Structure 1
Amino acid sequence: MELKPTYGIGDFKFGMKAADVIAKLGKPDKMYEDEEDENELIYQYNKSKLKFTFYQDHDGKLGYITCSNPTLTYQGKSVIQAPVEVVINEVFGNIQDWQEEDYNSFTTYISEKQWLVINAEYDEVTDIELGVPVKNDEEYDWR
């Protein structure tokens, strides 16, 4: 499964509808509304270790993906369970705008330009979060 910043992961592209994801993966193991935003509906797939967030206020388009699948790669290099320093400096070496936030038990590395978040515990990447890029304050870039 290949990570494609600003586009999606594998066959899953920003702007897809829930029916498109269901056609590829089947019925989700869990469906729930985001506690902080009632306009976000999340489909969770346990076996694939993927979560898809659909923006209800944007015609139900896929706008955010979280992945903890150990088969995730970027440019052919493994990401999940890899040392976070290697992922930041070597795998994503072309991204320079990382902001680090330490929460004691885990650390996040955020690239706002790529709308990419790397979460790490014990100095290993545990999951990746990827969002649809933003054109401006009012528009997403659905590509």
Structure 2
Amino acid sequence: MEITAGKGIDKLLFGMKTSHVETLLGRPDLNFKDDDKNVIYVYNESRLRLTFYEDEDFRLGYFICANQEATLSGSKVIGQTVEEIKNTLPKSFKTWETERFDIATNHFNEANWLILQEEFGHVSKVEIGAVINDKDELEWAFKS
């Protein structure tokens, strides 16, 4: 399950609609709307949470992944230290902001809209969103 910045995860691409995702993964285990009226799909076995943005015609714009098989730049992510992961990433992942709350620390790379969430010294989940371009628009990998 390869995470690709600016694109998505495996065959799931930023910009897909719910029907495209259901064709690939089937019906979600959980489906609800958040406070912003975005549609959220949860796939328990894949350990994926997908957000379809209401203000973008319900296109897939954000992932949360806690799958043990998830890779980033070919290296496993979940269970690794943040430094191990950062050392495998390309130069476009240079700048990181960190924010600590309770036992979690988020390591955010804005250029690639990627968050590595660290708990107990190891990455517990990865969050990745569609990249926002210079025109303040989301860049969609999926062209329908």
After TM superposition, the score normalised by the length of structure 2 is: 0.91
Partner of 1:62: 60
**How does 1:81-92 map onto structure 2 within 5 Å?**
81-88=79-86, 90-92=87-89
Runs of 4+ in 1 over 4 A off after TM superposition: none
Tell me which amino acid in the other structure corresponds to 1:126.
S
Give the 3-state SS of the residue equivalent to 2:64 in structure 1: strand
Partner of 2:40: 42
> In 2, distance between residues paired with 1:75 and 1:6?
13
Partner of 1:111: 109
User: What does the per-residue CA deviation read over 1:8-33, in whole Å, with 9 as the maximum and x for residues that have no partner?
Assistant: 01111000111111111111010111
> In 1, distance between residues paired with 2:102 and 2:140?
35
Tell me which amino acid in the other structure corresponds to 1:135.
N
1:125 maps onto 2:123 in alignment: yes
Q: Structure 1: state its 5+ residue gaps.
A: none
Q: Deviation at 1:137?
A: 5.9
Partner of 1:21: 21
Identity of aligned residues (%): 35
> In 1, distance between residues paired with 2:136 and 2:112?
17
After TM superposition, the score normalised by the length of structure 1 is: 0.92
> In 2, distance between residues paired with 1:112 and 1:141?
14
> Is the 1:109–1:119 Cα contact (8 Å) retained in structure 2?
yes
Q: Structure 2: state its 5+ residue gaps.
A: none
